Amino acid sequence: MQLTHRPRRLRRNPSIRSLVKENHLSVDDFIYPMFVMEGENNRVEVPSMPEAYRFTLDLLVKEVEENYALGIKAIALFPAVPEEKKDLTGTESFNPEGLAQRAVRAIKAAVPDVIIFTDVALDPFTTHGHDGIIDDNGVILNDETVEVLVKMAVSQAAAGTDFVSPSDMMDGRIGAIRQGLDAAGFENVGILAYSAKYASAYYGPFRDALGSAPKSGDKKTYQMDPANSREAIKEVYLDIAEGADIVMVKPALAYLDIIAKVKDATNVPVAAYNVSGEYAMIKAAAQLGWIDEKKVMFETLLSMKRAGADLILTYHAKSVAQLLAAGYRP
C-alpha cells in the first residue's frame, strides 16, 4: 500500500511525541484555590472534596510556603466566615481586620513573592447566601451591591492583595472597582474578572467548603444561563472595556467551547476555573477504582489549556506540582 501521508510517524516514540506536542502543562499555569477559616493549628478536610482543606491562618501560611517551594506561585483565597459575622448586607467583607484581609497580610509577610487573588463577592458574608444585597421582594439590588463590592476590593488592596477577583456577576462592577482602586491609590492592583460565570450545578462542593449556599432561590438572575455562548463574549468585552486585566470562564470542563471562543475574541489573558464539582467527580471515580486518577487529572487540565486557557484555577494544583517534580509524565 502506497501512502503519502503517515501521521503516525510523529507518534512513534515518546521523544518524538514530546518534540511535536502542541500544549504543555506546567505549574506556571496554575492558580491554587485555598480556603481559610478562623482558629489555630487546625485543618479540616472538605467532605465533598477529598484532599482539599480549610486551614486556620497559621497552617495556611505553612501550606502556601510548601506550595511555593513546589513552584505554585499564585493562590486564590476564599474565607470561611463564621455565621455570627454574617449579615444581610455583607459588611464584614470590607472589615480591615476581616479573615481575608488578615490572611493576605500574613501570607505576604511569609512569602512576599506569592501572587494572591482575593475573591470579591458577598455570598460568604451574607446570611442569605446570595452575592448581592436583597430588597424586601427578594430582588438582588445591582447598584447597591456594587457599592459594597468596591469597599471590599479597596480593603483587600490595602491588605496587600495583588489581584481582586470579582465573582458576583453584577453589572458594571469592574468599572466601579477599577475607579475605586485608582482613587484609593491602588493603580497597580489588578482585576481578574469572573466575566463568563455560569449558573452551574458544578459549584456544590465549594459551597459546602464555605457554607455559602443560598438559603433560598438560586443565582440565575445574575449568573449566566448555561444555554448561552454569545452572551459570554458580550460580558467579556464589557469587562475588558471597564478595566479587567484578566478574564475568566467558570466552570471550565463543561464550557471548553466558551474558553475557545473567548480566547479567539480577546487579546487579554484568559483564565478557566476547574471548579469543585469537576474536581470531586474525578476524586469520587478514582476512589471507586473506575479511572486512573493521575491520567484523568492531567488529561482534564490539558483540555482546558488546549481550549485556550492561559491560567487554570484548580484544586489539583498541588498534586500535579508534586507529580511533575517527581518526574511523572502522563
CA pair distance 286, 128, nearest whole angstrom: 35
Q: Which residues contact 309 (CB under 8 A, 6 or more apart)?
A: 29, 249, 252, 259, 263, 270, 271, 272
Q: Which three-class secondary structure state does DSSP give residue 35?
A: strand
Q: How many CB atoms lie under 10 A from the CB of residue 303?
A: 17
Give residue 315's Cα distance to chain centre.
9
DSSP-derived letter for residue 171 is T
Provide the pairing of β-strand 163-166 with 190-197: parallel
Of the residues 197, 219, 263, 305, only one is catalytic, namely: 197
- The answer to whether 86 is a known catalytic residue is no
> Rg of the chain's alpha carbons, rounded to an integer?
20
Q: Is 220 a catalytic residue?
A: no
Provide the β-strand partners of residue 163: 117, 190
Q: How far, in Å, CA of 184 to CA of 181, rounded?
A: 5
Among 219, 250, 261, 318, the active-site one is 250
Distance between CA atoms of 264 and 276, rounded to whole angstroms?
26
Report the catalytic residues. 197, 250
